[in-house]
Structure 1
Amino acid sequence: MSEEEKKKVYIPFVGDIQDYVGRSPWDFYSWGHIDMGIAAFIFFSLFITIPEFIFGPGGGFFPWWLAFLLTILVGILWEIVENTVIYYLGWRPGGKDSALNAAWDMIFVTIGGGVMWLFQWLIMEMIDYQGRWFYTVAFTSFFIILICYLIGFYITNENTEKARQARAKSIS
């Protein structure tokens, strides 16, 4: 394989310019997938904490581990919908995700849900605080990751602009 072909095949782990978004394992959308995991786990946790609040301990509709598994399922289903339905409707700029990026997106959803499950266990089981502290930590985490997403979006756009300007200078 020639040096030119190797350059075409090379994909960095962190896609910090638009050309690598959706191809690299980590891009600014990865923060959104972590947030998706957090949001899905929070949503499913409501089916546990609200019934327990009303009916007492043990009144949840399903156990915590199932909330985590449902979060993983949401990540898998999202990747399928994102790379088929949304892509074919033309709502996805930049084309489909690479298989590597899609796999890592599912991992990031799992990480977001897993961290929330860990927080739930630490706050509600180990420290024995009420659910409101778990939700305070969960929503705070969600908004911190959302800020990281917005910063990543800005950095990606800035780096893309610089890369395109450098490319234009080298061509002329």
Structure 2
Amino acid sequence: MSSEESGKHYVPFVGLLEDYVGRSPWDYYSWGHIAFGIAAFAIFSLIINLWELFVGPATISWYFILIFVLVVGVGWEVIENTIIWKLGLKYENRKDSFINALFDIIFVVGGGAATWLMKWIIMDVMGELGRWFYISALIFFLIILIAYFLGFYITNETTKKARKELGKVIS
């Protein structure tokens, strides 16, 4: 039985063509989810630091920030694949595959975890002030954002090339 007969289709792990965006575990939007995790962790930790600065010692542990990042990541995927999809604002107006949504959440948490590691190294190991952590988090965020735009460009160029090659094969 062929894959067409069984209804199963090959989807690569890395979606370098537009047809696989939202279906493959890794596509150029994955960089955006990593950046989202970085920003969410930095913002939640900033709230805790401001609380400690103006009110007193916070009663929340740092690992709870990562749990908040996870909750925000899951919430975003639900909103993205329901409300945004219903409004017709989703990429090619299609929902993400389950595996893509799962990996998107993993990438959000991964971005948050990498930022937590950076916070630990800068503030706890090196003993530097929080401002260096936030400057580093901003630089980290911008680097990942650049990777997102590069991924977008590569996906578009690869898709154009593949469609051009397909046109040669068909004609």
Q: Deviations over 1:123-155 (max 9, x none)?
A: 111111110111011000000000000000000
Q: Deviations over 1:55-101 (max 9, x none)?
A: 56xx2362211111100101000000000100011001220000000
Structure 1 equivalent of residue 31 of structure 2: 31
Query: Aligned partner of 1:42: which letter?
Result: A
8 Å CA contact 2:69–2:108 kept in 1: the answer is yes
- With the length of structure 2 as denominator, give the TM-score of the two structures: 0.94
Structure 1 equivalent of residue 149 of structure 2: 150
Q: Deviations over 1:10-54 (max 9, x none)?
A: 100000010000000000000000000001101101121112233
Count of residues in Structure 1 that have an aligned counterpart in Structure 2? 170
Query: Aligned partner of 2:109: which letter?
Result: T
Q: How far apart are the structure 2 equivalents of 1:68 and 1:23?
A: 26
Structure 1 equivalent of residue 119 of structure 2: 120
Check 1:142–1:73 CA distance in 2 against 1; reply closer, same or farther (3 A cut): same
Check 1:11–1:164 CA distance in 2 against 1; reply closer, same or farther (3 A cut): same
- With the length of structure 1 as denominator, give the TM-score of the two structures: 0.93
Q: How far apart are the structure 2 equivalents of 1:54 and 1:72?
A: 27
- RMSD (Å) for aligned C-alpha atoms: 1.7
Runs of 4+ displaced beyond 6 Å: none
Q: How far apart are the structure 1 equivalents of 2:87 and 2:42?
A: 29
User: Where does the alignment leave 5 or more consecutive residues of structure 2 unmatched?
Assistant: none
